[in-house]
Amino acid sequence: MDYRGYKIRADFLPNSGLVYVDTSGIIWLPGRENSRDMGRIAAKLNKLSEFNYEFRKRKFVLTTRLVLGEIRKGITYYTSWEFNKINAKRRRNGSGISNNLSRELHISRKGKRGYNKMYEILRRGQIKYKPKRKNNFRKELADFLEGWTALSPADKELVRATTISGNGNGILSADSKMMDAYNTATKEFRLKNCFICNGMNYKVISIG
């Protein structure tokens, strides 16, 4: 499965450790975003579907509250899209349904289904896998993240949670600045056996 020569896959995660998931890591594609490019949207949903399958199989994946909020927005977006296309379909009853309308209805349903599955996997992961042990450098980490002004609140929350989770865990992202921030944080706080799963090139970088 690929998108204009770019292979879509999700089978590159390490076998052990908690994986903290960023939205970018599960849907990133090369090239410019275009909300009217149905081929690109379908490819992003294929990538999402691959990660849904991989996460269910691997387990030990979770995220943070703000990233779950981003995924919830995806559910809302595709639910609204489906609703609009169903109404368009009803209006056209008796005059036939265009191929474009039929395809968009299919994509909207796939998007709603895919984001719902991802939301449930990560929500359950937060409950089941969130580490109970707390590291003692929370204030220092907060001060450290203040310097990363290019990161969004959701980015900072995910870097914070992954760092606090301690040794042996890592992050899945396609955001270069977030990956750089986490890489720097692991060195700053001397974490061991951590990793970064790059959702762009599917490489896993070991840290510490």
Residue 111, both tokens: 């998007």
If you average pLDDT over every residue of the chain, what do you get?
92
Contact 67, 32 (CB under 8 A): no
Per residue in 37-63, pLDDT (tens digit) is 999 999 999 999 999 999 999 999 999
Per residue in 90-124, pLDDT (tens digit) is 565 645 556 677 888 889 999 999 999 999 999 99
Considering only CA atoms, which of 180, 179, 163 is closest in space to residue 18? 163
User: How far out from the chain centre does Cα 208 lie?
Assistant: 24
3-state secondary structure of 158: helix
The DSSP annotation for 77-124 comes to HHHHHHHHHHHHHHHTTTT---HHHHHHHHHHHHHHHHHHHHHHHHHH
Per residue in 121-163, pLDDT (tens digit) is 999 999 999 887 667 788 999 999 999 999 999 999 999 999 9
